[in-house]
Amino acid sequence: MFRRLSTDTLNWILIIGVILFIIEIAFFGGGMIISALFCGLFIYVGWKRFYRLWGKISFWIGIIGLAFAVFNMMAVRFLIIAFIVLFIINYSKSKKEPEQIQPGLETDIGANQENIVRTRPLFDHKLFGDQQTKDHAYPWNDINIHGIYGDRVIDLSNTVLPDDIAVISIRHIVGNIEIYVPYEVEVSIHHSSIFGRAHIFGTQERNLMNQSLLYRTEEYDNSHLPRIKIITSLISGDIEVKRI
């Protein structure tokens, strides 16, 4: 739909949206933003207690309140109007100048193309809800995911790690991260958090406030055994890394 749209145009739309977002915070008290955060808290608590009636009520009240709060933000209204206008402009251009597809020789298409293999990642990006690795054996692929809220549980005992360095990268807003590592694996951990706690192989870090933690096992740099590099960031939540 927006294939004719340049990256620069999209970047300018996003920049203007961010400027309006900052103006709303600076000059209008950020009322809708505070309401959105409050509704997000309702959603999180309701999701955690969704099996109870009050949890379901809290969850859906949060969803409705969040929708009203988001659509009342100046930045969001601008983005909606901008994309509607761009859709109309691009639709009009497509009618006047229909896209033409010209066949080419197969040798031209594949001349500079390198053979690559696409594999399925262990996790898809999931903004809401919990995620965890399978309970049975699974092939390893490096993990690189982000989310808004929910817990992430990764058990490395059911997979075969590569001989070089395996990477786990998780960027999350609200929720806990649990990673279970086999005893024979060396580990490097780089964790950053705004609020939360960390439990790293028995070492506890309580009341993290906008801090970064760097840990590694003693033989990480010298080991010829499988190694895991863990990079995580949280706004609010706990991380636990332990042996299994």
Domain boundaries, the chain: 7-96, 131-243
Residue 189: pLDDT band by 50, 70, 90 thresholds? very high
Distance CA 17, CA 14 (A): 5
Contact 172, 212 (CB under 8 A): no
For CA atoms 102, 106, 111, 112, give the dihedral sign: positive
pLDDT in tens, 41-55: 888 888 878 788 888
The whole-number pLDDT of residue 100 equals: 53
The whole-number pLDDT of residue 241 equals: 92
Identify which has the larger pLDDT, 12 or 30. 12
The whole-number pLDDT of residue 101 equals: 47
pLDDT in tens, 79-124: 888 878 877 777 676 666 655 545 555 545 455 667 777 777 777 7
Helix (H, G, I), strand (E, B) or coil at 199: strand
Q: Which of 9-13, 75-79, 172-176 has the highest mean pLDDT?
A: 172-176
The whole-number pLDDT of residue 240 equals: 92
- If you compute the radius of gyration of the chain from its CA atoms, what whole number of angstroms results? 23
The whole-number pLDDT of residue 169 equals: 92
Angle at 81 between CA 76 and CA 87, to 5 degrees: 125
Cβ atoms within 10 A of the Cβ of 228, count? 22
Beta strand 227-236 pairing with 186-200: parallel
Distance CA 24, CA 150 (A): 28
Tokens matching residue 104: 């080419």
Mean pLDDT across the chain:
80
